[in-house]
Amino acid sequence: MSDNSRYSFPRLAYGGKVSSSNRIAAIPSSTIHFFEHVSVFGSVEPYLGKLHHLKTQLSENELLGRGGAAFPLSKKIAGYEKHRGKVVVVANGSEGEYLSRKDEALLARHPHLVLDGLSILGSALDAKMGFIHLKSSKEASIRIVQEAIAERRGVDPFRIEVSTTVAGVGYVAGSETAVISAINRQGGLPLYMPERPIVRGVRRRPTLLANVETLAHLALLARFGSHWFSSIGTENDSGTRLITLWLPSGSYRVLEVVAGTEFAEIFQAMGISREQVSCGLLGGYFGQLIDSDKLWTLRASQSFLKSAGFSFGAGVVALAEGCPISETARIINYLAKESAGQCGPCYLGLPELAKTWKSLASDNVTAASISRVDELCDELAGRGGCAMPDGAVLLARTSLRRFRSELLEHQGGRCSYGQGSGRLVPPTGVLAAK
């Protein structure tokens, strides 16, 4: 990849199969070890400890966080600048979202690219400590990352001490405060932090969390420069991003797509026709359920989706074949079960919301139950210690608005889709095993 112009795509899916349009690539599963990594991408050393260089590159094109909140990395770094020397950097690869698999796939393929990004970011802020936070259920990826750290030790200077930590179980374990809680060994559940982690996080130090995909992009951006980085993509959204695409059959693919690629093109490349799909979940469980007609007109670009009123979240696009009302019912039910049980409005309110929504999926929908959903949404919004209730409320509100006509059908005792297979939520065995 040292010849910048030749290898503008694929990036994170380096070596993977590329579509004929050269805009979609599948991420391969084999790991790139240290020697191959250095021969492909070059050493990271010249880019360490250069905050100014990093800031220049980031000011020329916005790198949005890929963990779900899409917060610009340059703004994040600017906030931590005054804490230089005290900062702890954390690469968050704990993806609590069941439907998101991109972090796992990325860590299995490019552990060194993530470690590069972590050391670039950490050394720029003079951090002494770095953590790479992983999902507890994936022993294989924990082993790969630990081996990668061992491979580099003594060969390549990290400048920061990097160690792996393991997330708690459950959906909320990937949220910012839960990650800090897990690293501090406080239980791995979300904490109440009126002063954000920027003041006091891991070991009571200012803590910068970044998604592993953001760090991998950062490692490439610092190496090859912003001109190379923005050579593909759209004007507002340059570069590429990883998505997890769930097919109606229940299997998934982790793909790297050029920003701005039409969803229709991605679906076509994966061999999905519009007739197979009734609706799709965009952005994961904190996202929105969208009917297939709308979904086919969207593009894989955060700025485009934002202007259309959606968000990419953690890059999940999950296609379903069942009735959108039933699918929403199952997702809200799943979220209610995944509540950490810490805040009253969440552990009491979400089951109530799930129960009410379930009655909408049956054939005796009443106007009272619809208005009860509205009432519960107003009551629950913003009431949790983490964003869990807000996510469920967003899904409920948008589904209610978007599938109003389908609800009227249900009111008349009809359903135009059928129950569906419920593949958008984990099978019950997964929940029981947890």
Stretch that binds other proteins, among 8-16, 26-34, 310-318, 341-349 (CB under 8 A): 341-349
Tokens of 383: 């009431």
**Within positions 344 to 373, which residues make up the interface with other proteins, using CB under 8 A?**
344-345, 348-349
Q: Which of 192, 227, 273, 274 binds other proteins (CB under 8 A)?
A: 192
Q: Which of 93, 201, 385, 422 binds other proteins (CB under 8 A)?
A: 385
Radius of gyration of the chain (CA): 22
Asked whether position 343 contacts other proteins by CB under 8 A, the answer is yes
Asked whether position 201 contacts other proteins by CB under 8 A, the answer is no
Asked whether position 191 contacts other proteins by CB under 8 A, the answer is yes
Asked whether position 383 contacts other proteins by CB under 8 A, the answer is yes
Here the contacts of 1-4 (C-beta below 8 Å, separation 24 or greater) are 1/40, 1/41, 1/42, 1/224, 2/42, 4/224, 4/225, 4/228
Asked whether position 283 contacts other proteins by CB under 8 A, the answer is no
Stretch that binds other proteins, among 62-70, 79-87, 299-307, 343-351 (CB under 8 A): 343-351
**Residue 232 per-residue DSSP state:** S
Min. distance of Cβ 183 from other proteins in angstroms? 18
Min. distance of Cβ 348 from other proteins in angstroms? 4
Nearest-angstrom CA–CA distance, 290 and 171: 22
Tokens of 299: 């593009």
Here the contacts of 265-269 (C-beta below 8 Å, separation 24 or greater) are 265/21, 265/23, 265/24, 266/24, 266/300, 266/317, 267/296, 267/319, 269/19, 269/21, 269/24
Stretch that binds other proteins, among 39-47, 380-388, 411-419, 423-431 (CB under 8 A): 380-388
Q: Say if residue 63 is exposed, middle or buried (CB neighbours under 10 Å; 0-12, 13-18, 19+).
A: buried
Tokens of 393: 């409320």
| 89 and 130 Cβ atoms separated by less than 8 Å | yes
Task: Kindly tell me which of 269 and 332 has the beta carbon lying closer to other proteins.
Answer: 332
Min. distance of Cβ 185 from other proteins in angstroms? 17
Nearest-angstrom CA–CA distance, 61 and 58: 5
Asked whether position 384 contacts other proteins by CB under 8 A, the answer is yes
Asked whether position 117 contacts other proteins by CB under 8 A, the answer is no
Asked whether position 187 contacts other proteins by CB under 8 A, the answer is no
Residues forming contacts to other proteins in the complex (CB under 8 A) are 190-192, 194, 342-345, 348-349, 379, 383-385
